[in-house]
Amino acid sequence: GAVVSQHPSWVICKSGTSVKIECRSLDFQATTMFWYRQFPKQSLMLMATSNEGSKATYEQGVEKDKFLINHASLTLSTLTVTSAHPEDSSFYICSARPEVAYEQYFGPGTRLTVT
Amino acid sequence: AQSVTQPDIHITVSEGASLELRCNYSYGATPYLFWYVQSPGQGLQLLLKYFSGDTLVQGIKGFEAEFKRSQSSFNLRKPSVHWSDAAEYFCAVGALGSTLGRLYFGRGTQLTVWP
């Protein structure tokens, strides 16, 4: 149980285009979903926290207009990287927290490369 | 301020040897603690968690961790390491009662296992 999927697993896009990443909790309902960014050999950097049906809470320094987060249902959250630039290339990981739990379950991650 | 310290960036052990990964935390509220493991290019997998009760918790893959409040530590142990345990290990802390359930992660410890 407690499986989280992410799609796509990797994506290459051109500079200036937008990319959408989906995060789904497959066998549980997630009150809260989280989006992280991870640089090589580094820890996870929390980008934003989203609750179903409400606006996401962004961490300081994360551009809300660039990283659009939508939490449309208790099993789906999406991250859209708008007007992507090469510096947005990174490994993006989502996680989901079940309604009656404190732990987070992570997706497998999405490797974004902007050329 | 909340923080998690994993003092060892990289640890190398021989297969079959015992393992201890250190984790110290600083948190103003009652903490709940986790250890996650990440294989290259993958998301994070939950190894074990501590909320309350017995301070020695058992996890998956033969791992255990001991919560020591007086030392603000939550060290991860395994009596006999397998080559498949080679990965990055992250300690994380959150707050009981936190409505969003945000976790704070350490920088990670890279484990290398020699045959």
pLDDT tens track for B31-75? 899 999 999 888 999 999 998 889 999 999 999 999 999 999 999
Residue B25: how many other CB atoms lie within 10 Å? 20
pLDDT tier for residue B99 given thresholds of 50, 70 and 90: low
Question: What was the pLDDT predicted at B2?
Answer: 80
- For residue A105, which residues of chain B lie inside 8 Å, CB to CB? 46
- For residue B46, which residues of chain A lie inside 8 Å, CB to CB? 2, 103-105
Residue A74 has pLDDT above 70, yes or no: yes
Residue of chain B with shortest Cα separation from A56 = B100
Radius of gyration of chain B (CA): 14
Which residue in A21, A33, A44 has the most chain B C-beta atoms within 10 A of its own C-beta, making it the best mutation to test that interface?
A: A44
Does A76 reach chain B within 8 Å, measured CB to CB? no
Cis check: omega of the bond before A8, within 30 degrees of 0: yes
User: CA B89 to CA B42: how far, in whole Å?
Assistant: 12
Does A5 reach chain B within 8 Å, measured CB to CB? no
- For residue B42, which residues of chain A lie inside 8 Å, CB to CB? 108-109
Give DSSP secondary structure letters for A46-77: EEEEEETTSPPEEPTT--TTTEEEEEEETTEE
Does A106 reach chain B within 8 Å, measured CB to CB? yes
pLDDT tier for residue B30 given thresholds of 50, 70 and 90: confident
Does A107 reach chain B within 8 Å, measured CB to CB? yes
Question: What was the pLDDT predicted at B101?
Answer: 79
CB B50 within 8 A of CB B32: yes
Q: State the nearest Cα–Cα gap between A16 and chain B, in angstroms.
A: 25
CB A48 within 8 A of CB A67: yes
Q: State the nearest Cα–Cα gap between B44 and chain A, in angstroms.
A: 6
Does A108 reach chain B within 8 Å, measured CB to CB? yes
Of A13-22, A38-47, B6-15, B62-71, which gets the smallest average pLDDT? A38-47
The CA–CA distances, whole Å, from B27 to B3, B74, B92 equal: 7, 13, 11
pLDDT tier for residue A99 given thresholds of 50, 70 and 90: confident
- For residue A46, which residues of chain B lie inside 8 Å, CB to CB? 102
pLDDT tier for residue A77 given thresholds of 50, 70 and 90: very high
User: CA A47 to CA B1: how far, in whole Å?
Assistant: 19
Q: State the nearest Cα–Cα gap between A106 and chain B, in angstroms.
A: 6
